Chain A
């Protein structure tokens, strides 16, 4: 049985909070979130695959990756690392971009604060997402968050037909 993902939305403060416990040590969990070779294995929900083009995990560095779909389509995203406190937390500014990492104009940005806390043999991950505007928050989530790729899952179709 998977651990519960707690997601709460706070449109008035333009934030989404996500909390999830993982049955792994702090070191392993940190590695899974910050090492591109591991991130590529889980960041994209099936049947999509995350493919990292650039990973420079240091303050001022960035992660540029795409979500590659089964039909060969690719959606590029980027994250600039602002602060990194080893094994504690890191902060990124995220955006949609082209394959060279150039930010696409007119798409909303979000800031991620990802915090890690050892809890016995497991690790708690707390994510605080802050959006520039509530419209941006709506738009991003309506797009399926990253390039509209969750649309392919049929989640939204199911939802709209409900």
Chain B
């Protein structure tokens, strides 16, 4: 199964988890408390998010793992998107000129 940022955000629960973790790092129990689904389901989502690189699990000695949001990975979405945005803007600026003479 593919593991990339698009897989990470393909599921609404995972998107919700990411928006929580974007605010602060949390342990799995604290995350699960925000959702109706089972603790196992949340763990499964966290595992996928970690495999996709969207979150980073951090082990602290004697304490539970906490999950941290990986902003760098989210930026990949913007990176592949930028050339497309630029193309559209270039096109439309030209169309502005064409419309003046039409």
Contacts and interface: CB of A to CB of B under 8 A. Distances in A.
Contacts of A45: 87, 90-91, 94
A23 B99 contact: yes
Contacts, number: 94
Question: Is chain B's interface secondary structure helix, strand, loop, or mixed overall?
Answer: helix
Contacts of B10: 11-12, 134
A34 interface: no
A42 B91 contact: yes
A5 B86 CA distance: 10
B91 A38 contact: no
Nearest to B11: A12
B23 interface: no
B87 A144 contact: yes
Nearest to A134: B6
A29 B99 contact: yes
Interface in A5-57: 5, 7, 9, 11-12, 16, 18, 20, 22-24, 28-29, 31-32, 38, 41-46
A142 B80 contact: yes
Interface of B: 2, 6, 9-10, 12, 15, 77, 79-99, 102
Interface of A: 2-3, 5, 7, 9, 11-12, 16, 18, 20, 22-24, 28-29, 31-32, 38, 41-46, 134-135, 138, 141-142, 144-146, 150-151, 153, 155-156, 159
